[in-house]
Structures are given as C-alpha cells and as structure tokens.
Amino acid sequence: MVIKQQNSLRIFILCAMAVCLNVILGSIVTFTHIPFLFLDALGTIFISVNFKMRYGILTGLCTNLLLGVIHGPLALPFGLVSVVIAITANLCAKNGFTYYQAIITGVLLVLIGSLASAPIRLLLYGGFGGLQKSVTDLLVFSLRASGKKMITAAYWGAVTDGIFDKIISCLLISWINSRSQTQRLLASFYYEGDCNEWPKENS
C-alpha cells in the first residue's frame, strides 16, 4: 500500500511537471506568434501515452485551469479539448507508440479534437482561431463564402490550425519515449500497473 501511494505521488509530480511544460511552451509559442504550432498539449500527450487515462485527463484539465489564470478565462472551455486529446492519445498508445503510430495519433487528435474545439471557437470567436488574426482565418472566410455552414468552416479551420502541431507533438513524444533514460523511468511505473502496454522499442 505504501509503495502504491508513493508510486501515485510520483505520477502526480510528473503530471504537475507536464502541466508546467504545456503552459511554458504554449505561452512561448503564443507570444512569438509561430504559425501552426502550439505545443500546449505536449505534456498531456506524454502522460496520456505512457500512463492511465485518468492521469492524462487530469494533466489536460489542470493545464487549462492554469492557462485560465495566466491568460484569462477564455482558456477554460478548451479544457474539453484537452480531455478529448488525453482520451484519444491514451487509446492510441495501448500497444506502443512508434513513429508511425505517432503520426496516426497526431492526425486522429486533430480530427477528433476539432470536433470539440469547433463549437467552442464558434461560440467564443465566431468560428475563427482567436482574438489574434491567423492564416487559417482566410480558410474560414473562404469556406463560409462558398456556402458552408459556419460550424463546418470552424471545424476545418481548427483542423488546419492543429494538424502540424499535433503530429510534431506526437513525434516528439515517440522520440522521447525511445530514449533509454525515459525507458528506465517508465519501467519503474510499468511493473506497478500504472503505465500503458510498455515499454516497447520505438522505430
């Protein structure tokens, strides 16, 4: 029982570190205005890929709570998107997380996650990317002008915004998981039953 509690505490510490990573990287990318890149779900994906689903969900929700404190309450509704990302990444990584699986997961994350983010974007920003103008706003305008419904335009705008970010984030996690240091770290959790089906060599 004591070992199990210590193990859970160690995972919660990793979750807290992942939340900080999300917020720091996401804030840096936001302030530097790098297009098509956010990196604010990198920690969530890492936890979700390697540990039980509940830890990924916790990491995602706490990230949005902290972003809400730092950047304002408009970040809070996107906690739903973080939950979807955590669930999807966890399910996709049940049998390992190779580079190929990472690419597929990245595509699924944006396609499924955009189903959650599109209505939020529509409600908060009229279907566009946010308070700041982005390249994908032109796509939303074009789709709307062609007769598409605003929710459809918002969905494809969200997909275009996030596709490269999610694929890059998943590939980074696959690379991190392939490092011997990470494998040694996760192995200590694996035998306590808190990890996904792991460890496996990535290729």
pLDDT over threshold 90, residue 41? yes
Question: 102-117, pLDDT tens digit by residue?
Answer: 999 999 999 999 999 9
**Confidence at 162, pLDDT banded by 50, 70, 90:** very high
Q: HEC profile for the chain? A: CHHHHHHHHHHHHHHHHHHHHHHHHHHHHHHHCCCCCCCCCHHHHHHHHHECHHHHHHHHHHHHHHHHHHHCHHHCCCHHHHHHHHHHHHHHCCCCCCHHHHHHHHHHHHHHHHHHHHHHHHHHHCCCCCCCCCCHHHHHHHHHHCCCCHHHHHHHHHHHHHHHHHHHHHHHHHHHHHCHHHHHHHHHHHCCCCECCCCCCCC
Domain 2-190 has CATH 3.40.50: no
Give the pTM.
0.90
Domain definitions of the chain by residue range: 2-190
